[in-house]
Structure 1
Amino acid sequence: MTKISRGRCLLKVRIKEARTTQAQLSRRTGYTPQRISNWANNREPMPYEAAVLISRILNCHAEDLYIWHIEL
């Protein structure tokens, strides 16, 4: 059986690649700056719905917002 788990959040990296800021992302998504910061600094997991919205704004896939660990 294959096991998959989320690792470290890559939101901070993706924000930098998109040449935007956490504050700008906060304004565009409606999530508080503190919430964006918590996700970007791995203090709390990002809900999948938020990841999908953010990925659309940052022009990446939701799966690209995390490191994934896959055990075969």
Structure 2
Amino acid sequence: MAYTATKCLLGHLLKSAGLNQAELSRRTGIHKSQISAYINMRYGKTMEVAHARTISEILDLPTPYSLYEWTEKQPSGRTDD
């Protein structure tokens, strides 16, 4: 079984925590433009693992996986999946 991150929840989580992107940037050392790119899933990529772990600790999340909404990826039928 495989999963795909379909939506970044960081914007919602920041709002719930009473933080903004600038404050998260200050606390994590991650550039504000990079945080914005994560929130908007710019370039179709998810966060680097180290950034996800750092952000999840700042937001007191149980796991970095909580930063995304996940959907099950359907197998293509190929044997190399």
The verdict on a shared fold, with TM-score over 0.5 as the criterion, is yes
Q: Deviation digits for residues 41-71 of structure 1, max 9, x if unmatched? A: 1114211110110000011121110011125
Structure 1 runs of 4+ with >6 Å offset: none
Compare CA radii of gyration and give the structure with the larger one: 2
SS in 1 for 2:70: strand
C-alpha RMSD of matched pairs (Å): 1.4
How many residues align? The count is 71
Q: Over residues 5-63 of structure 1, what are the superposed CA-to-partner deviations in whole Å (9 max), with x where a residue is unaligned?
A: 11111110111111111000000110111111111111142111101100000111211
Where structure 1 has 5 or more consecutive residues not aligned to the other structure, the ranges are: none
Identity of aligned residues (%): 37
Q: Is 1:57 the counterpart of 2:58 in the alignment?
A: yes
> Which structure carries more relative contact order (alpha carbon 8 Å, separation 6+)?
1
